[in-house]
Amino acid sequence: MKVEEKNKKAKIILKELNKLYPKTPSPLTHTNNFTLLISVLLSAQCTDLNVNNVTDDIYPKYNKPEHFIKLGQKKIEKLIKRIGLFRMKSKSVYKLSKILVEKYEGKVPRTFEELEALPGVGHKTASVVMSQGFGFPAFPVDTHIHRLAQRWGLTNGKNVVQTEKDLKKIFPKKHWNKLHLQIIFYGREYCKARDCFGLKCKICRICNPNRKRAIVTKKA
């Protein structure tokens, strides 16, 4: 696809999403950057709703790395046992908390490199913290964004790494932080995984008016 065509699509998408979602509150409940980091870590292969339901009972009491160190891994397991992969995640939360206290005076580091070096923290988690926590321009790509970017004809990337690169080329940096949440919200409400298939929702129809066949997303 030509650059001009992708840029035209980008303007249409931004216009529609700004109308639908002028405000973009974080979908994960948190009280500070540390709890944001923990919530994003816990959300891997789990819904935001489930994470929020669990952390609503945790964060009023435990919201600093020191708190989780005192709890210990076994008690953390009990607190998050309703979340998928809870044993592995509790181990990461405990180890991560120790590193933050020992190396960063209990504060969340402000660089991608330092965040991605923490246990259980990958590039997507680091990107969310940099974007939503510190306001640094980032474009976290999850399965929703990967799916929609393919359906809208903005990428043919086989993984989230390539999709992120492609989207950063198309959309101006000033829109990244808000846009990644807008796309997630739109994917959940209008362009669902087992519903639109690139044919039904408004943006899919506008971006690809002549499309006849369903788009099968290449898995991230």
Fold observed for domain 33-133: Endonuclease III; domain 1 (1.10.340)
Q: Sign of torsion, CA 135 136 142 148?
A: positive
More confident residue, 215 or 176: 176
List 6, 9, 89, 124, catalytic entry: 124
> Is the pLDDT confidence value at 217 over 80?
no
Domain residue extents for the chain: 3-24+139-207, 33-133
> pLDDT-based confidence at 219, cuts 50/70/90?
low
Task: Tell me which of 1.20.1250.20, 3.40.50.720, 2.60.120.380, 1.10.1670.10 is the CATH number of domain 3-24+139-207.
Answer: 1.10.1670.10
> pLDDT-based confidence at 6, cuts 50/70/90?
confident
* 124 counts as catalytic: yes
List 6, 9, 89, 142, catalytic entry: 142
* Residues contacting residue 204 through CB under 8 Å, at least 6 positions apart: 151, 152, 191, 196, 198, 211
